Structure 1
Amino acid sequence: MSAFNAIGDEREIDRDEYTPGVEPQPTWCPGCGDFGVLKALKQALPEVGKTPEEVLTVTGIGCSGKLNSYLDTYGFHTIHGRALPVARAAKLANPDLEVVAAGGDGDGYGIGGNHFIHSARENHDMTYIVFNNEIFGLTKGQTSPTSPKGHKSKTQPSGSAKTPLRPLSMSLNAGASYVARTAAVNPNQAKEIIKEAIEHDGFAHIDFLTQCPTWNKDARQYVPYVDVQESDDYDFDVHDRAEAAEMMRETEDVLNEGTVLTGRYYIDDDRPSYTQEKKAVGELPDQPLAERYFDDDAEWERSYDLLERHK
């Protein structure tokens, strides 16, 4: 039995199934890069054979947090910076569920930065898409962790004195087993990267450049962009950690100088996911927790039954 009857069914899936029956009018600004994330995700999910009933989309607060309002899957809108712990809990409770977490650069790299580091370190099996527009958008244009040095905003009217955070390098150093960057202006690449991330067994982090035409005009449109896999100017092995780190360093160095590099940066297919490691040591039950709620005969363990008493 399954907690969700659709899990395990094999059938043709149309991307329109991911559009709500009564489609809400998006409140993103015209020209916002968030539309590109939504489109790429709607294209990728059917190609990996996932129905809306097999997917959970967990979002934080901000413009990016509206994603699951426009995507017909199971959805959970969390508080600021807390998308990942909710997503991790859902995946542990129902490992068959495909979990996609999403948040902005302020939500994911700032307020939720601690959760990001440890989700990558533990290699939880999920896809994490960070809408990176180098600004706090929904709260009207404050400096974010990825805002470039010198960027002027309401909170830094004289220009930011801080060097921006390096999300790709941080992700690699924390332990993510799939790290990529794409952009809303590159929809075909975005779809393929999201598809690969969903199929990857482990923590897949996508730094998704999304232009903000309202509050961050300095970022322009993140064009022209260069796909590092297709360019003859860049040659590195995505499975080699040292080469990936060097390519990430170069990518993050030149972003605010007008050169936008995108593509896959690091892939480790051999590292076991957190779920696999927990199963290996016997700390995940054979019957997922989510299914017990649908099984009147299920036996429930309590922590005091599993731990030895202190003497």
Structure 2
Amino acid sequence: MSAFSAIGEETEQDQNEFTPGLEPQPTWCPGCGDFGVLKALKGAAAELGLSPDEMMVTTGIGCSGKLNSYFNSYGFHTIHGRSLPIARAAKLANPGLTVVAAGGDGDGYGIGGNHFMHTARENHDITYIVFNNEIFGLTKGQTSPTSPMGHKSKTQPHGSAKTPLRPLSMSLNAGASYVARTAAVNPNQAKDIIVEAIQHDGFSHVDFLTQCPTWNKDARQYVPYIDINDSDDYEFDKTNRSEASEMMFETENALHEGTVLTGRYYVDEDRPSYQQEKQRIGEMPEEPLAERYFDDSYEWERTFDNFLDKHK
């Protein structure tokens, strides 16, 4: 009998199924954009017909780190910047599980930037949502990797002398096969993008603009926004890497000039995921590795035995 018999069943779900009983009401600040991420993720999971047993949400440290406390599914609250390696391990052990990783702009683009780059390069089949509010919120208002040049904070009282990191461009250059940006003020687009990101077979990166009214009062609320996929002013082929790159560069410049552009930027449906490549070369079995823990007849392999045999 499968230990994961809930996975793959077609069921109708209500998004309230993803509201936990122990901590149903989030304690984010009033007006925080993180509420928008939670709502969009619940709506996406319900639309996809997933059950809480079919999902795992890994988070890092920061305001975004509470996501898996407020979302009813399997969860793992990691240390700073480490949500991605935990998510990767979970997906490799049980490919049938829908794995979503989350982090803030400091957690994901700063402390966890190295993991972000290599997870994208390897094209792991997980969805990564980055709460981008251009500030360190939980630690009360320090400049983050996405804070604009000149932004004044506790760590940069005279204004930041650094140009902000370009998360969309970095994601594309690292190798992500699905790249999008949405905003908490655009809940319908946010839900649709998360649905697409989860359905995509490969690494999906969603840069989610989330306003912080408490610690980043100088930042705009990301309105009005323009959906580049619906606007006649922004025509490009999101399956073309060069055109996507140009659109990302324009979007990242426009944000700090007062124009908020969102939408799907790059989609590569042909590139195999990391899991598929591992199976192709024979280094990953077809059956979930995690099921072996429930198989009393399975004869466990020890990795070091393979190395010892080579030296005999």
Tell me, in whole angstroms, the C-alpha distance in 1 between the residues paired with 2:264 and 2:276. 24
- Partner of 2:118 in structure 1? 118
Tell me, in whole angstroms, the C-alpha distance in 1 between the residues paired with 2:11 and 2:25. 30
Question: Shift of residue 225 of structure 1?
Answer: 0.5
Tell me, in whole angstroms, the C-alpha distance in 2 between the residues paired with 1:100 and 1:118. 17
Tell me, in whole angstroms, the C-alpha distance in 2 between the residues paired with 1:130 and 1:310. 46
Tell me, in whole angstroms, the C-alpha distance in 1 between the residues paired with 2:299 and 2:286. 12
- Partner of 1:49 in structure 2? 49
Tell me, in whole angstroms, the C-alpha distance in 2 between the residues paired with 1:100 and 1:188. 19
Tell me, in whole angstroms, the C-alpha distance in 1 between the residues paired with 2:245 and 2:110. 22
Letter of the structure 1 residue corresponding to residue 165 of structure 2: L
- TM (norm. structure 1) is 0.98
- Partner of 2:280 in structure 1? 280
21-30 vs 97-106, greater mean Cα deviation: 21-30
Query: Which sections of structure 2, spanning at least 5 residues, go unmatched?
Result: none
Tell me, in whole angstroms, the C-alpha distance in 2 between the residues paired with 1:65 and 1:292. 30
Matched, 1:156 2:148: no
Letter of the structure 2 residue corresponding to residue 309 of structure 1: K
Contact 2:104 2:131 in 1 (8 A): yes
- Partner of 1:73 in structure 2? 73
Q: Secondary structure at the match of 1:252?
A: helix
- Partner of 1:309 in structure 2? 310
What is the correspondence of 1:177-188 to structure 2 with a 5 Å cutoff?
A: 177-188=177-188
Matched, 1:59 2:50: no
Contact 1:132 1:208 in 2 (8 A): yes
Q: Secondary structure at the match of 1:163?
A: coil
14-23 vs 93-102, greater mean Cα deviation: 14-23
Letter of the structure 1 residue corresponding to residue 310 of structure 2: R
- TM (norm. structure 2) is 0.98
What is the correspondence of 1:164-243 to structure 2 with a 5 Å cutoff?
A: 164-243=164-243
Contact 1:213 1:220 in 2 (8 A): no
Q: Secondary structure at the match of 2:256?
A: helix
- Partner of 2:290 in structure 1? 290
Deviations 1:25-50 (A, max 9, x none): 31100000000000000000111121
Tell me, in whole angstroms, the C-alpha distance in 2 between the residues paired with 1:19 and 1:186. 21
Matched, 1:104 2:104: yes
Identity of aligned residues (%): 78
Q: Secondary structure at the match of 1:257?
A: coil
Query: Which sections of structure 1, spanning at least 5 residues, go unmatched?
Result: none
Letter of the structure 2 residue corresponding to residue 80 of structure 1: H
Matched, 1:85 2:90: no
Q: Secondary structure at the match of 1:198?
A: helix
46-55 vs 2-11, greater mean Cα deviation: 2-11
5-14 vs 202-211, greater mean Cα deviation: 5-14
- Partner of 1:299 in structure 2? 299
Question: Shift of residue 141 of structure 1?
Answer: 0.2
- Partner of 1:260 in structure 2? 260
Q: Secondary structure at the match of 1:84?
A: helix
Question: Shift of residue 10 of structure 1?
Answer: 1.6
Instruction: Give the total of aligned pairs.
Output: 311
Question: Shift of residue 310 of structure 1?
Answer: 4.6
